Structure formats: structure tokens, C-alpha cells
Amino acid sequence: MTFHSVAWVDNGLRLLDQRALPQRLVYNDYHSYHEVAQAIREMVVRGAPAIGAAAAFGMALAAAAAPEDDPEQALALVGEAAAVLKAARPTAVNLSWAVERMLRRLHDPALVSVADLRQAALAEAQAIAAEDVRINRQIAVNALSVVPDEAVFIHHCNTGSLATVDYGTALGVIRMAHERGKKVFVLVDETRPRLQGARLTAWELQRYGVPFKVIVDSASGHFMRTLGVDLCVVGADRIAANGDTANKIGTYNLAIVAHEHGVPFYVAAPTTTLDLSIPDGSHIEIEERPAREITHVGDCAITPAGAEVANPAFDVTPARYITGILTEAGIAYPPFATSLARLLALTQEAGAQKEAGGRRD
């Protein structure tokens, strides 16, 4: 690994500016939570787990900026930061999950001074980042059983090291299958309008030596019928209790085409992407992004001046089109209402045991 999407460097947050890829590898440093929120909004950093980790470091920056001698004011400031960071992008639940976890940690009555708060904030953000990497690798290990020894994949958006702290979710599944000697080939959806597939996934796969071809999003049906596709693997931004899954716009179309062709359709995501507080996908807020993402490619206008556009950044794939949900706790199969609840309970139990072990040490 020679790049880091999210890292804590010299008392600040360093983000790989994903807008500049694949042409340039640019890192930007951030020293306030406002700057971090803006970087999330403008998609310097993107991908559900990566924006969660970035927001956690944003909370650490808020704690670091708090006045030395006033713990109450420090807590008020992290509260403000939490609200600003959570509002940066609405769909990925990992963002609010990370911010809420930071708030819980910082409201520990054992933290009495501002120095305590600062130290705890940074340690918690670093723990969130480190856990993300471990979790992603475990998702990929768990998924090996569903990947044939020779496999043609379709992958949508970017779900790799860039979209996480490292390794990736759906792309991690592909990467590990390749590392373990399976013969994999990837059809990479270009992923209009921001081209996360063409710009970012292709860039990552080149670095990992995984063979691939970039295709336009609307070509998936053609390749399922002509070449043959063994499985689709995509990421997720929020998964409802019944398994309905919000992910990058176009995921729903891909799932329907896969269903028509009998191609297994898997979602790979950490359990932090589960939102069991909502019964189904109709409760997921879909982010609407600026029209310019559709009307222009780079600086070139591709629509007539004044043309109206609609630009939802995500869609919801109904659970009935999903073969399985690959998580670090295991694979959930339909009916998801029971399998997801069971996997989440397992994760929470393991977390509680670890915490109790930590307190005893």
C-alpha cells in the first residue's frame, strides 16, 4: 500500500484529494472541523467508511481547538462540530455512526480536563480508523466462499482503499480473491456522473495488478448476456433492517439486470453500515448533488445551457434483488430482517466482551 485516503499527520487530518485522481496524487491537510466538513461535502474524501473516519478526526480537531481550561465549553464545541459534520452528507450512515461514537466517548464522566478530552478524542478516532482496516479484511476473508476460483465480476462505484481507511469493502473482496490466487477479472462500471469507477477503481486495480476493463454503466446487461458474469459485488451507504440497500446511483439498475440474468448480487459492507432503526429503504434520505456534476464533464458543458437535471447521488436496491450481504460478522442471507439482526447482535456482543476485557486489564 503506497497511499492513504485518511491519516492523522502532524496534529492534523491528511486526506488524499480524490478529485485529482487519476491524474495527480495530491494530499491536503486540515486543521479545523469546518474544513473537514467542507472536504466531505466536496468529496475530497468519499466512500461511507472513509467519511466516517474523516469525521471522527474532525471531532478530534474540534476537541484540540477547545479552550484549555473549560471542559464544559469544550463539550459544547464538540457538540457543534458533531452537528456540522453529520450534516455534511446525509445518506451514508457511517458518518453519523462515527460522530455519535465520538460523542459517547467524550461524554464519559471520567474525562475531567480538556487535556483528557483531547487525548480521548484522538485515541477514539484512531481506533475507528484502525478498526475499519481490520473489519474490511475480515469481510474479504468471509466472502472468499462465495467467489468461484475463476470469476468475472461487475463492480460499481469505488469501494476500495480510497473509499475506506484501507483495503476496501466490495473491492477488498475482489482484491483478496486475487491475492489468494483466484483468477479474477473485473468489469468496472464507470459510474456516472462523478466516474468513481473509471477514475478511482481502475486506478486502484492497476496498482493491485487485478485485470479489468472499464465499461459504461449501461453495458452491464450486454456483458451478462455475451461474456457471462459470475457475480456483482457492490458497497453500501446504508442498509435498512429488511436489507434494502442505499448505494451509488445505478446500483439498483445493476441489481435488476443481474436478477434477470440469474447473476448473484452481493453487497459488501461493515456492520457499521447497518441502520436497523429503519424498517426499509423508503426511510433513507437520498442526497441530491449539484447539477454541474451532470451538465459538465470537467470544464466542458454537455447539455444545452439552461437544461434542467436531476442528480440523486444514491438509489435504494430492494432487498429481494440481493443474494447476500457480506459483513465482518459473517454473510447475511434472506430473510435479512432476521439474519442482519443476528449478525449485529454478534458484533455488539463481541464489542462488549472486548470492552469488558479492556477494563479488567
Query: Which of 178, 192, 238, 248 forms a contact with ligand MRU (CB under 6 A)?
Result: 248
Binding of ligand MRU by 188 (CB under 6 A): no
Q: Tell me whether strands 183-189 and 212-215 are parallel, antiparallel or unpaired.
A: parallel
Nearer to ligand MRU, 106 or 313 (CB): 313
Measure the CA–CA gap between 178 and 208, rounded to whole angstroms: 9
Query: Which of 5, 96, 161, 169 forms a contact with ligand MRU (CB under 6 A)?
Result: 169
Residues 304-323: x/- map of binding to ligand MRU (CB under 6 A)? ---------x----------
For residue 270, give the nearest of 342, 189, 168, 174 by alpha carbon.
Answer: 168
Helix count (H) and strand count (E) of the chain?
A: 11, 16
Number of shown-chain residues binding ligand MRU (CB under 6 A)? 17
**Residue partners of 57: CB distance under 8 A and separation at least 6:** 6, 8, 13, 36, 125, 129
| Min dist. Cβ of residue 328 to ligand MRU (A) | 13
Burial-class residue 109 by CB neighbours within 10 Å (0-12, 13-18, 19+). exposed
Burial-class residue 17 by CB neighbours within 10 Å (0-12, 13-18, 19+). middle
Out of 132, 237, 244, 275, the active site residue is 237
**Which DSSP category does 15 fall into?**
E
The three cell numbers of residue 115 are: 487535556
Query: Which of 37, 62, 92, 231 forms a contact with ligand MRU (CB under 6 A)?
Result: 92
| Min dist. Cβ of residue 157 to ligand MRU (A) | 4
For residue 47, give the nearest of 170, 159, 172, 189 by alpha carbon.
Answer: 159
Binding of ligand MRU by 196 (CB under 6 A): yes
Residue nearest to ligand MRU (CB): 235
| Min dist. Cβ of residue 273 to ligand MRU (A) | 7
Nearer to ligand MRU, 77 or 96 (CB): 96
Binding of ligand MRU by 12 (CB under 6 A): no
**Residue partners of 47: CB distance under 8 A and separation at least 6:** 5, 158, 159, 162, 163, 164, 235
Footprint on residues 140-159 left by ligand MRU (CB under 6 A): 157, 159
Nearer to ligand MRU, 77 or 317 (CB): 317
Residue type present at position 103: L
Query: Which of 242, 247, 323, 339 forms a contact with ligand MRU (CB under 6 A)?
Result: 247
* Burial readout 132-167 (b: 16 or more C-beta within 10 A, e: otherwise): bbebbbbbbebbeebbeeebbbbbbbbbbbbbbbbb
How many CB atoms lie under 10 A from the CB of residue 21? 19
Is 237 considered catalytic here?
yes
Binding of ligand MRU by 237 (CB under 6 A): yes
The answer to whether 128 and 55 have CB atoms below 8 angstroms apart is: no
Nearer to ligand MRU, 3 or 31 (CB): 3
| Min dist. Cβ of residue 69 to ligand MRU (A) | 39
Nearer to ligand MRU, 74 or 295 (CB): 295
The three cell numbers of residue 135 are: 473489519
Nearer to ligand MRU, 71 or 235 (CB): 235
Site stretch for ligand MRU (CB under 6 A), options 8-16, 120-128, 207-215, 234-242: 234-242
Measure the CA–CA gap between 106 and 85, rounded to whole angstroms: 16
Residues 13-52: x/- map of binding to ligand MRU (CB under 6 A)? ---------------------------------xxxx---
Nearer to ligand MRU, 186 or 236 (CB): 236
Binding of ligand MRU by 164 (CB under 6 A): yes
**Catalytic residue annotation:** 237
User: Which residues of this chain interact with ligand MRU, rule CB under 6 A?
Assistant: 46-49, 92, 157, 159, 163-164, 169, 196, 235-237, 247-248, 313
